[in-house]
Structure 1
Amino acid sequence: MNNIIKYLCRHHSLFLGGTLATIFLHTLALPVNSAPEPEVLENNPKAIVDEIWQIVNNEFVNPDFNRVNWQEKRRELLSQDYDSPKQAYKAIREALEDLSDPYTRFLPPNEFSVLTSQTVGEVSGIGVRLAIDKRTSEIYIVEAVKNSPAINAGLKRGDRLIRINGKPTALMSIEQAKEALAGELGTEVSLQLSRRNKGVFQVTLERAQIEIPAVTYNLQEDGSHRIGYIKLDEFSSHATEQMKLAIEDLGQQEVSGYVLDLRGNPGGLLFASVDIARLWLKKGEIVSTVDRRGGDRHFLANGTSLTDLPLVILVNEWSASASEILAGALKENGRATVVGTSTYGKGTVQSVHNLSDGSGLAVTIARYYPPSGTDINQKGISPNVYLELTMEQAVRLKNDPSLMGTNADPQYTRAVSILKGRTQPISAPATPKPVGLRWEELQETLKDPDPRWERMQETVN
């Protein structure tokens, strides 16, 4: 994990998520107008408190710190005695809350580790997707990731996981099983499994770096129309290459148009959103960012688009941040028709720093704007075609995610109808209604001829 963090730090990677947007920095800049006292000793909880204060002092987007006396805040924080890092973390959180910015936040070491894994799009493990039977609490493998130790060992969908390193999974939650499978690169994990028509068997696997798929796609045929359906789950560091592969592969299958599904996508790397926009957009502005000093940076298409075939984008109220950059750029440049409901409405950029004790800090450092220059913060991107799922439809897709991107998915069928020329895009209403059911609250379940799959909740390791 440390190597991953250093890689991100060196490359100053920008990340935008549904709840935060980030830039990883390798070194801490000198403080601006920082108070020189009181003295802070190394290896003291006060050291991490002051480290965080300095970062916020240098980078927070509002130079008035949302009317907080930040110099006085430092004196207040360092005048206290902290018996443990936990006490210091509590004081840090309270100080950051005073800034009235939900995206400037502290991440303890465990949360920061999860965030960096998601950003990089890689985890250390054996490469399996797990699900738990809600009725029996049995844990099953539902997928072995391509080029992973699990797939190389012949593990298959439906294999029941009995023990991990000798510990029975019957006593584990899905998260505990996931943690047990994770570990340092090159270390081994012993599994006892059961397979229908084979019985109980044992395998020992060596953990490897696993690339998490951010893109899934398939060809859908509707009469004489061949539609390329692409689902983008997040903007990780591997998302651009995976998107490029999807567009090219579907193009070779002679699709007549594409549907790009960004529903529920919380965001990811800013540069990934820009690079993916460039795969679709031949020319035009993609996004601009403005920092606390008024610095204005513009990101443009660069003539590297892979296709000019018709494109429809699906969004909902949980399409956030980098998803909004992509949808906004393609909509406002006339490259795509956007279908669904208004997006999340997060128009700020955060920096995420790896702190000296392994924790992390996210700080809002800039605001971003689509090509029109509209402030989308707390407003979102309005679709060309406003189509809200009913509660029944949303629950149906939640209970059977395999229906997304099929004729059982009303927003997808409207997208296909637009691609086929049966309807024309219309303007979104001035005050669109919110989605009835939040996608973030919809836990994935699985479908299989065996009814037990419908009782499963999915996770990835």
Structure 2
Amino acid sequence: MGFMNKQVFRVGFSLLMAFWLAFGTLTQPAVALTGEQKLVSEVWRIVNRTYLDETFNHQNWAAVRQKVLEKPLTDSNASYAAIGKMLKSLDDPFTRFLDPEQYRSLKVNTSGELTGVGLQIVLNPETGKLEVVAPIAGSPADKAGIRPRDRILKIEGVSTKNLTLDEAATKMRGPSGSLVTLLIERDGEPETEIKLTRDRIALNPVVSELRVSAEGTSIGYLRLTQFNANASMELAHAISSLEKKGAAAYILDLRNNPGGLLQSGIEIARQWLDSGTIVYTVNRQGIQGSFEALGPALTNDPLVILVNQGTASASEILAGALQDNGRAQLVGETTFGKGLIQSLFELSDGSGLAVTIAKYETPQHRDINKLGIKPDKVISQDPINREQIGTEADLQYQAAVELLKKDLVVAGKA
């Protein structure tokens, strides 16, 4: 394990969603300051110590702190506003402050169940627009046909132009059965208003099925919708079951998978690899930490991974690890391209701070941020609904089956 493992990731979970997070604790400052000033200083110190860009967006970071503390901070709202202004000077939408309510809400969302519309969202740093990474399978958003890369222009008639990521997420959450209206923008189509009924969304991440082709080939189909706390265990169970049923090859479907827990992604990569590097992490000192396969793999059968533009973050780490190690072929479309890591720290008053602290690279040192991962076989297709996944209408799935048939012929298993 490298420096990044020991120094950053040991404090808790790292998440790879539309943004990455790690939970940690902080020591209290020794300087005698008011509570409001203390919080500002606490935030400043974390950024000073961990932020990826050591130029702090080409500015004197100490002077930024001094300027903020010159003005009186009368209450927590004043300190929150001051912190927001300080962080805005970094020009990084992923480095942001969360008030106690937002921070609590975020922790609830990582527990594996939430109430809302079921969208993973990101603020596009280039356009500033609120963008869909992917709908959660089976969620109200998924059933309504919302797609990756759709832009959310309004929530309940309120423009998202000046909303933070967390404010937008909070507006979309609400009691099960309540309605929320979104105004959606999509390339080549007129703006569309979509009404959604919020629901309780159980994040069961694994779908598995043994499929036998017309030629008698037994293929284990696995769909992974998110890297939550149960994903690694559930996938291991599914592989074990499919092996017993006689699977000779596998398709792992990561399409529209927005990510999840980093550790879950690493554990799943280890299920397919006997040896090799899974991912490198690089901080502002250029120090690399790495996560390695431990072996043995649960199966050495041929593997094809399905990806598309909704395949993001932890999904890209898994796909990149198995592609670079020659363990799997990728079929579909170029992935989302999210290669930055944020850590989330809990502050002394119960609020939180997310800071971009590193980037990651695939085993062959590919930096995929904003670029994504290109499949070995590029197959584009029009959006399909959930019922069409894995059918004749699913061109990417059919291409994966054909690849596996060739692999099995070469291996003498067909």
Equivalent in the alignment of 1:443: none
User: Counterparts of 1:335-354 in structure 2 under 5 Å?
Assistant: 335-354=327-346
Aligned-pair identity in percent equals 40
The reply to whether residue 415 of structure 1 matches residue 400 of structure 2 is yes
Equivalent in the alignment of 1:259: 251
Rounded to whole Å, the distance in 1 between the matches of 2:286 and 2:9 is: 24
Equivalent in the alignment of 1:80: 71
Q: Secondary structure at the match of 2:296?
A: coil
Q: Structure 1's 350 and 175: CA in aligned 2 closer, same or farther, altered over 3 A?
A: closer
Q: Aligned-pair RMSD on alpha carbons?
A: 3.3
Rounded to whole Å, the distance in 1 between the matches of 2:407 and 2:295 is: 31
Rounded to whole Å, the distance in 2 between the matches of 1:9 and 1:109 is: 23
Deviation string, structure 1 residues 192-245 (Cα, Å, up to 9, x no partner): xxxxxxxxxxxxxxxxxx973122222223221222221212212222111111
Q: Structure 1's 110 and 318: CA in aligned 2 closer, same or farther, altered over 3 A?
A: farther
Rounded to whole Å, the distance in 2 between the matches of 1:29 and 1:365 is: 21
**8 Å Cα contact 1:289-1:296 kept in structure 2:** yes
Rounded to whole Å, the distance in 2 between the matches of 1:175 and 1:321 is: 23
Query: TM-score, length-normalised on structure 1?
Result: 0.65
**8 Å Cα contact 1:220-1:228 kept in structure 2:** yes
**8 Å Cα contact 2:303-2:327 kept in structure 1:** yes
**Selected match of 1:68 from 48, 56, 59:** 59
Rounded to whole Å, the distance in 2 between the matches of 1:130 and 1:211 is: 9
Query: TM-score, length-normalised on structure 2?
Result: 0.72
**8 Å Cα contact 2:302-2:408 kept in structure 1:** no
Deviation at 1:290, TM superposition (A): 1.5
**Selected match of 1:100 from 91, 101, 107:** 91
Deviation at 1:370, TM superposition (A): 0.5
The reply to whether residue 24 of structure 1 matches residue 23 of structure 2 is yes
User: Counterparts of 1:400-439 in structure 2 under 5 Å?
Assistant: 400-421=385-406
User: Counterparts of 1:325-364 in structure 2 under 5 Å?
Assistant: 325-364=317-356
Deviation at 1:405, TM superposition (A): 2.7
Rounded to whole Å, the distance in 1 between the matches of 2:277 and 2:29 is: 34
In the alignment, residue 26 of structure 1 is paired with which amino acid?
A: T
Equivalent in the alignment of 1:176: 174
**Selected match of 2:363 from 350, 371, 385:** 371
Q: How many residues align?
A: 332
Q: Structure 1's 298 and 286: CA in aligned 2 closer, same or farther, altered over 3 A?
A: same
Equivalent in the alignment of 2:310: 318
Equivalent in the alignment of 1:117: 108
**Selected match of 1:214 from 200, 205, 208:** 205
Q: Structure 1's 308 and 78: CA in aligned 2 closer, same or farther, altered over 3 A?
A: same
Q: Secondary structure at the match of 2:97?
A: strand
User: Counterparts of 1:134-153 in structure 2 under 5 Å?
Assistant: none
Q: Structure 1's 30 and 281: CA in aligned 2 closer, same or farther, altered over 3 A?
A: farther
User: Counterparts of 1:12-51 in structure 2 under 5 Å?
Assistant: 12-18=12-18, 20-28=19-27, 40-42=33-35, 44=36, 46-51=37-42
User: Counterparts of 1:261-280 in structure 2 under 5 Å?
Assistant: 261-280=253-272
**8 Å Cα contact 1:274-1:326 kept in structure 2:** yes
Equivalent in the alignment of 2:119: none
- Segments of 5+ residues of structure 2 without an aligned counterpart are 1-7, 116-137, 145-170, 179-200, 410-414
In the alignment, residue 253 of structure 2 is paired with which amino acid?
A: D
Rounded to whole Å, the distance in 2 between the matches of 1:174 and 1:67 is: 36
Q: Structure 1's 324 and 220: CA in aligned 2 closer, same or farther, altered over 3 A?
A: same
**8 Å Cα contact 1:281-1:301 kept in structure 2:** yes
Deviation string, structure 1 residues 423-459 (Cα, Å, up to 9, x no partner): 99xxxxxxxxxxxxxxxxxxxxxxxxxxxxxxxxxxx
Deviation at 1:416, TM superposition (A): 1.3
**8 Å Cα contact 1:220-1:227 kept in structure 2:** yes
- Segments of 5+ residues of structure 1 without an aligned counterpart are 1-7, 136-172, 181-209, 425-461
**8 Å Cα contact 2:229-2:261 kept in structure 1:** yes
In the alignment, residue 404 of structure 2 is paired with which amino acid?
A: L
Larger Rg: 1
Deviation string, structure 1 residues 251-294 (Cα, Å, up to 9, x no partner): 22212211111112222222211111000111111111122233
**8 Å Cα contact 1:12-1:26 kept in structure 2:** no
Equivalent in the alignment of 1:90: 81
